[in-house]
Amino acid sequence: MNASYSVTPRKTEETWSLVALPPKNFAQYLSRLLYLPSPSLAVTMALHAPEEFQHILRILNTNVDGRKKVMFALTSITGVGRRLSNLLCKKADVDMNKRAGELTEDEITRLVGVLSNPLEFKIPKWFLNRRWDIKTGAYTQVFSNALQGKLREDLERLKKMRAHRGLRHYWGLRVKGQHTKTTGRRGTTVGFDRK
């Protein structure tokens, strides 16, 4: 939202002076700052929002806050981080200084198109979050509910083949090689008994 401020002095003619007293309200502060006649100041401030402004957008089954800037608003979609949203805005020719609620339907469809087909818009393979899918061998960007489904499928595959990582997930233990003797004792693990 673009904010516009207008300062209007009343009809009295006084000398322009700086008031040395501490400000009691915003009008006094502004009058000292702008060297305006302090007693005759009427300040009106208005936030002008465009008529087409949307406070909540629905993009890819996700509620996106329209008050945030576009780059940061897109990060609320699961599977889209700040770097990818920056790249999406550049590839879709969307102004990153805009708020998300100011986007037009055309800009939203361009953003969704770039996100759903990133390789067609020359986004490198290493930038994607699903590199070399185990079933298809494809490089894709997975987002929203599909990301949670893919993670679930991967864990089920690891459990089914009885891999070490799958067994650790199944048992509810640490997976990535962390020490477990003295840390992570909350939950179902039983404490160590000394003799």
pLDDT digits (tens, 9 = 90+) for 147-171: 888 889 999 999 999 999 999 999 9
Mean of the per-residue pLDDT values of the chain: 79
Please say whether the dihedral angle defined by the alpha carbons of residues 99, 103, 107 and 110, taken in this order, is positive or negative. Answer: positive
Per DSSP, helices labelled H in the chain are: 26-34, 70-73, 82-91, 105-116, 145-160, 164-171
What are 98's two structure tokens?
């805009």
- Summarised one tens digit per residue, pLDDT across range 92-147 is 999 999 998 888 899 999 999 999 898 898 989 998 888 888 888 888 888 888 88
pLDDT at 39 over 50: no
Number of neighbours of residue 80 by Cβ within 10 angstroms? 22
**Side-chain half-sphere exposure of 166, counting CA atoms within 13 A:** 12
Q: Give yes or no for a contact between 34 and 14, defined as CB atoms under 8 angstroms apart.
A: no
> What pLDDT is attached to residue 24?
59
Q: Give yes or no for a contact between 70 and 127, defined as CB atoms under 8 angstroms apart.
A: no
pTM of the model: 0.62
C-alpha span between 9 and 11 (Å, rounded): 7
What are 121's two structure tokens?
């818009």
